[in-house]
Amino acid sequence: MRIIATLFLCSLVTGCTIEKSLSVVQVGMTPNHVIQIEGSPNEQTQQERYKIFVYYGKQQPAVLQPTTDRWFIFKDGHLLEYSTQYLNPSNDTNKPLRLTATEILSQWRNSQYLPVNLSVRANE
């Protein structure tokens, strides 16, 4: 019984000390960590302290929409925010469905300067 307990404790300690590679994207990650998990982005751009990675048509596990577009926004080299977007297919091939990485990042940056609803702050 003592041998079994010792083996269990050894395997527990070993399992806790072995570093596993991350497989889930988390806020605060570097661009290299995101690339290790998601692969190379389809498009990327940088504006001042902000950088964006855009992935088109990525597979989504166990959801109604089989593929989505994803983008990851970094500030000062760390993941600040990420999002997914599902686009309905279009039969009109002359109509662009997606924004470019530069357009997405510009719109996102502009949205950060929108006024805050003061009634929301009044309840804090």
Confidence (pTM): 0.66
Domain 25-89+96-111 coded CATH 3.30.1450.10: yes
Contact criterion met (CB below 8 Å) for 98 and 87: yes
pLDDT one-digit tens code per residue, 6-49: 545 555 555 544 445 568 899 999 999 999 999 999 999 999 99
**pLDDT confidence tier of residue 53, bands split at 50, 70 and 90:** very high
Which tokens hold the place of 50?
Answer: 């902000």
What single DSSP character describes residue 89?
-
Q: Are strands 67-75 and 78-85 parallel, antiparallel or unpaired?
A: antiparallel
Contact criterion met (CB below 8 Å) for 81 and 28: no
Terminal Cα-to-Cα distance of the chain (whole angstroms):
58
